[in-house]
Amino acid sequence: MAGTDRSRAGASGGPAIILVEPQLGENIGTAARAMMNCGLGDLRLVRPRDGWPSDKAIAAASGANIVLEKARLYPSVPEAIADLTHVYAATARDRGMVRREVTPRHAAAEMRAWLAADEPCGVLIGPERTGLLNDDVALADTVLSVPLNPAFSSLNLAQAVLLIGYEWFQLGDDTPAEQLALGHSVPANKEHLLRFFEHLEEELDRSGFMRDPEKRPSMVRNLRNLFQRAGCTEQELRTLHGVVTSFCGPRKRKAAE
Amino acid sequence: MAGTDRSRAGASGGPAIILVEPQLGENIGTAARAMMNCGLGDLRLVRPRDGWPSDKAIAAASGANIVLEKARLYPSVPEAIADLTHVYAATARDRGMVRREVTPRHAAAEMRAWLAADEPCGVLIGPERTGLLNDDVALADTVLSVPLNPAFSSLNLAQAVLLIGYEWFQLGDDTPAEQLALGHSVPANKEHLLRFFEHLEEELDRSGFMRDPEKRPSMVRNLRNLFQRAGCTEQELRTLHGVVTSFCGPRKRKAAE
């Protein structure tokens, strides 16, 4: 049975989100949406005030129905966390309790490690107005607190779930922090870029823009730098050639002169 | 004038959040709440559909009224971003445009550096259903994309603002990733901890629990390890002494025997 429980908890591919006595169906729905945004699937509900299932939850989930359909209902926190090995309690700081306390980012790293070791884990999140009872916090190993503006730190259910899930998702995601998105374009090679530079400079020589021979080298350098920095694509080079040509006439004029 | 604009943009202590044609007042309110959660104060609105000011925005802001009161209204995106030096466009991926694209975490680091250099910056966020127009994206330097479940990545306005602001706030926050929150308690010193170990072991010797002399050393070690790991406070040690005494009677019995 323990084996069954474990695989059940692990099947979602993420930590369980356990909403304790959530009040509004809407908030359960938006929490489910936030879970699905972050690839989380194991939603557990302890005594939702307005009953379950909830049409309001479905309406608010904006398509995250699968999370709601798989949600499981429990009569108490101990039953909701029975199969878990590690449990966090999401609360604001300063309960006057002696607890290990971590940030969502740190919790995400721990949860990744635990799930990789087949140790199911989850996060308890309390009711909208009051948050978790201290007795529920005492059932968790660790307090999870989101560092936010201390003068204004309260989050609604979905936002708490989103920040916890967001950190979880980031750790498994390989999006580069910075990249050049190319759409369907091909970055230009240097031969083509240099051909454009020559086209431009040839026309600027002709137009008289670079008539001062002392300033010419630095003007050439500055213009080349600008276009290098922009990281042109092949399509953009064709457009730039066209711009120069539209100002100055077709390039073959040179041969004609 | 430029100087005035700069100080105006910088006064908020964070990047501007520019909502382009937001539809629902509620969403402006929850976005303002998310901004205040993250210490952001410069909200700009471009043609909010349902007019401004908005009672629904105030009701949804849950107390973040100051952000709404300071919000500024603009007739167009160019006017809303005129005083900014760096502008991000928050969009889902894959516009088929050639754009530099960053994560919220990377953007947060860049924005911290720019604001430190007195270069105002901001983030454009589009209307609820459609997101930003490509023409608005073309007014920004960089695309800001939140890495999320690619099969389900749409966020509401407030959640997009929250994730961008959250990353901004984390970079300026010094909450330790992991800490032992002590409430008002004092961690026990080792003399007091050892005194409890001795009390416990004395009573376990007396009760016969550790009667096997070969096993005694490892049992002592295991129990000591457990309480070391828990990181007891002075108050908790007093409680533990009380637990042992309540089972075994007052400690002075030993002297009486």
Mean pLDDT of A135-164: 94
> B93 and chain A: CB distance < 8 Å anywhere?
yes
Query: In this structure, what CATH number is given to the domain that contains residue B154?
Result: 3.40.1280.10
| pLDDT in the model for residue B94 | 64
Are B132 and B248 in a shared domain?
no
pLDDT per position as a tens digit, A94-119: 667 778 899 999 999 999 999 999 99
pLDDT per position as a tens digit, B52-65: 999 999 999 999 99
| pLDDT in the model for residue A13 | 73
> A62 and chain B: CB distance < 8 Å anywhere?
yes
Q: How far apart are CA A38 and CA A160, in angstroms?
A: 12
pLDDT per position as a tens digit, B94-152: 667 778 899 999 999 999 999 999 999 999 999 988 899 989 998 999 999 999 999 99
pLDDT per position as a tens digit, B192-233: 999 999 999 999 999 999 999 999 999 999 999 999 888 899
- Chain B neighbours among A 106-125 (CB < 8 Å)? 106
> A228 and chain B: CB distance < 8 Å anywhere?
no
Number of Cβ atoms within 10 Å of the Cβ of A238: 14
- Could you tell me if residue B177 is inside a domain? no
pLDDT per position as a tens digit, A117-126: 999 999 999 9
- Could you tell me if residue A1 is inside a domain? no
The Cα of B221 is separated from the nearest Cα of chain A by a number of Å equal to 23
pLDDT per position as a tens digit, B36-47: 999 999 999 999
- Residue in B155, B178, B184, B229 to test binding to A, most A beta-carbons within 10 Å: B178
The Cα of A52 is separated from the nearest Cα of chain B by a number of Å equal to 24
Domain count, chain B: 2
B188 beta partners: none
- Residue in A175, A227, A234 to test binding to B, most B beta-carbons within 10 Å: A175
pLDDT per position as a tens digit, A230-243: 889 999 999 999 99
Q: How far apart are CA A27 and CA A127, in angstroms?
A: 10
Report chain A's mean pLDDT, rounded to a whole number. Answer: 89
Q: What angle do CA B154, B160, B166 make, to 5 degrees?
A: 140
Q: What angle do CA B183, B187, B188 make, to 5 degrees?
A: 145
> A100 and chain B: CB distance < 8 Å anywhere?
yes
Helical pair B157-171 and B104-116, crossing angle rounded to 10 deg: 60
Taking a C-beta distance cutoff of 8 angstroms, is the pair B81, B57 a contact?
A: no
Position B48 pLDDT exceeds 50 = yes
Closest by CA to A40, choosing from A142, A161, A151, is: A161
- Could you tell me if residue A31 is inside a domain? yes
What's the complex ipTM? 0.84
Identify all chain B residues contacting A99, using CB atoms and an 8 Å cutoff. 180-181
> B91 and chain A: CB distance < 8 Å anywhere?
no
pLDDT per position as a tens digit, A21-44: 999 999 999 999 999 999 999 999
Are B127 and B31 in a shared domain?
yes
The Cα of A242 is separated from the nearest Cα of chain B by a number of Å equal to 19
Q: State the count of interchain CB pairs (< 8 A) between A and B.
A: 140
Task: Tell me which range, A153-162, A177-186, B10-19, is most confidently predicted by mean pLDDT.
Answer: A153-162
- Could you tell me if residue A97 is inside a domain? yes
| pLDDT in the model for residue B184 | 80
Query: In this structure, what CATH number is given to the domain that contains residue A225?
Result: 1.10.8
Q: List the domain range (segments joined by +) for residue A164.
A: 16-171
**What share of chain B in percent tops pLDDT 90?**
77
A188 beta partners: none
Parallel, antiparallel, or unpaired for β B99-102 and B178-181? Answer: unpaired
Position A256 pLDDT exceeds 70 = no
Are A83 and A35 in a shared domain?
yes
